Amino acid sequence: MTNALQAPDKGDVFLRISAHLAERTDIASALEAVANEIAEVIPFTHADLCLNDRPGWLSSYEVGIQTRWSRARTRVDVSPIRDLINGHCDFMLCEDAMQDPRQTFEGSCSEPIFNHALRSRVHVLMKVMGQPIGTLNISHSTPGIYNGETVQRAQHVADVLSPYFHALHTAELAQRAAQVGQEAKAREEGLRRGALDLTQTLERERQRIGMDLHDQTLADLTRLLREVTGDAPPGRDHLASRISETIGDLRRIIDTAVPSLLELFGFLHAVQVHLERAVGSAPVEVEVIDETDGAPDRLNPTVRTALFRIAQEAINNAARHSGARRIEVRIAPMAGSGLAMTVRDDGCGIPAEVRRNSGLAHMRTRARLISAELDVLNDDGCALRVMLGDRS
């Protein structure tokens, strides 16, 4: 590399930079293409561009060393270059960034500085038509290698790079916006179809309940009426037994239609009872674990009921089809006031063709209707996970 204090033939370097950039259509490859030319002007261990993304956020693109800065967008308020981005200075020059409070303040996203010993640092603004679009940032592991002349060279490089990278970044943002729009339309259509399927399923459920009441409860009551009004009415004990059976059958129908246990005793108890009923007398170990101190019962009633219905369906699938020896339902906290419910079994898993069936599709629709995510993992059995974001 050229010594930091030696001036290369800038005209030739900048012509080569322009030629390289003219052949590139994405930011990452464009920066990689001009890395050697930048190093001729300013020796570096690490170089990156921070470009303004959505308000308050930066996107980073790196050469030399790959760090966490380019793996995710960074908030301006935690960026080591926040003073420059916020207009508090025209440039930043650090002899040793590891000791510089401007870059390593509390809460700053400065781990790469320490992880890769990025000591000497110079940062200059990138502008298009006088408006800042981001920064050019150059770092070296040797402390004190950069000076005021380095700042001038970095600004010259930034001035050449800015219009090219602004155009590439604008195109990238437009492409991202178009993709987000397409994904939103696809989600909307999927939700519409799912809601229609769910409505049809609910109508079939209503018809099933009507048939159960007609074929079972009404038939039982009719037989009881005939017996009571017949020539030889049954005794009191027999009559009480028959009425108890009818009440039990009716209660099962009601529990299927309206999760009364959920209303009376709360989410965890309702899930525990349904889990025990689903496995019946089979030798299956069951457990319900709540790590959220009753968070499901603090949800909106509609959300809680939908979550319970998903738990019911997942438990039924595990009990009937998996051959599991253990079924576990776990409620765990997520960031903020979010929570995750996982129904896990150690059975045979869900075949790919079954994963497309209506039962799982209805669970996914219920999840989407309450703005939750649903994942199914086949790993040593099956784990169905519902994730509800922050509900505060």
What are 129-161's pLDDT values in tens digits? Answer: 989 999 999 999 999 999 999 999 999 999 999
pLDDT of residue 2: 42
Flag whether the pTM goes above 0.85: no
Contacts of range 53-56, beta carbons closer than 8 Å, 24 or more positions apart:
53/173
Residue 3 has what pLDDT? 47
pLDDT above 70 for 104: yes
Task: Give the C-alpha separation, 132 to 325, whole Å.
Answer: 62
**5, pLDDT greater than 50:** no
CA angle 373-315-268, nearest 5°?
A: 80
Q: Which domains does the chain have, with CATH numbers?
A: 10-181 (3.30.450.40), 262-392 (3.30.565.10)
Q: How confident is the model at residue 246 (pLDDT cuts 50, 70, 90)?
A: confident
Return the sign of the alpha-carbon dihedral for residues 260, 266, 271, 274. negative
Q: Which residues of 26-45 are buried (b: 16+ CB within 10 A; e: fewer)?
A: ebeebbebbeebbbbbbbbb
Length of the chain: 392
Q: How far apart are the C-alpha atoms of 13 and 41, rounded to whole Å? A: 8
The residue with greater pLDDT, 207 or 6, is 207
Mean pLDDT is highest, among 144-148, 240-244, 320-324, for: 144-148
Residue 334 phi/psi, 5° resolution?
-125, -175
